[in-house]
Amino acid sequence: MFDAVLDLIAAVCIFLAAVLSVAAGVGIIRFPDALSRLHAATKPQIFGLLLTITAIALEERSVATLLALVPVFVFQSLTAPVAAHMVGRAAYRTGQLDTTTLVVDELAPAIERSEESFARRPERENDAGSGPSKSG
C-alpha cells in the first residue's frame, strides 16, 4: 500500500515536470522576442528537474541514488542562471527585444551614464554620440 502511494506520487511529479516542459515549448513557439522566449524556456530547467529528481528518489528509495542525484541538481542550478544571464545580456545589447512590451527599462539609463563617463575620459578622442546607434 505504502509502495503504491509512493509510486503514484512519483508519477504525479513526472507529470507535473512534463506540464512545465510543455509550457516552455508553447512559450518558445508563441512568444514574440528573445527575452520572452528566454523567460518561458527557463521554467522547467530548475523546478522541472527538481520534480524529476524527486520522482526518481521516491521510485528507487535508496540513499545511494539520492546522493547520486544531488550533483545533477547542483550542477544545473549553477550553470542554468549563468547561461540565461549571458543570453539575456546579449539579447539586450544587440537590441533583439520588443521595446513596446516593456513597462520600465531600468538598464538603458545605466548604460547611458556609463557610456557618458567613458566618453568624458580625457585620454579618449571625442567619440561621444556613438552610443545610441549601437542598438541595431
Other Cβ atoms less than 10 A from the Cβ of 114: the count is 11
Burial of 116 (0-12, 13-18, 19+ CB in 10 A): exposed
Q: Which residues bind other proteins (CB under 8 A)?
A: 4, 7-8, 10-12, 14-15, 17-19, 21-22, 24-26, 28-29, 34, 37-38, 41, 44-45, 48-49, 52-53, 55-56, 59-60, 65, 68-69, 71-73, 75-76, 79-80, 82-83, 86-87, 89-91, 93-96, 125-131, 133-134, 136
Q: What whole-number distance in Å separates Cα of residue 47 and Cα of residue 102?
A: 26
Of the two residues 12 and 102, which places its CB atom closer to other proteins in the complex? 12
Considering the complex, what minimum distance in angstroms separates the CB of residue 6 from other proteins? 10
Of the two residues 94 and 103, which places its CB atom closer to other proteins in the complex? 94
Other Cβ atoms less than 10 A from the Cβ of 9: the count is 14
Of the two residues 70 and 102, which places its CB atom closer to other proteins in the complex? 70
**One-letter amino acid identity for 37?**
R
Considering the complex, what minimum distance in angstroms separates the CB of residue 102 from other proteins? 17
Do residues 69 and 30 touch, judged by C-beta distance below 8 A? Answer: no
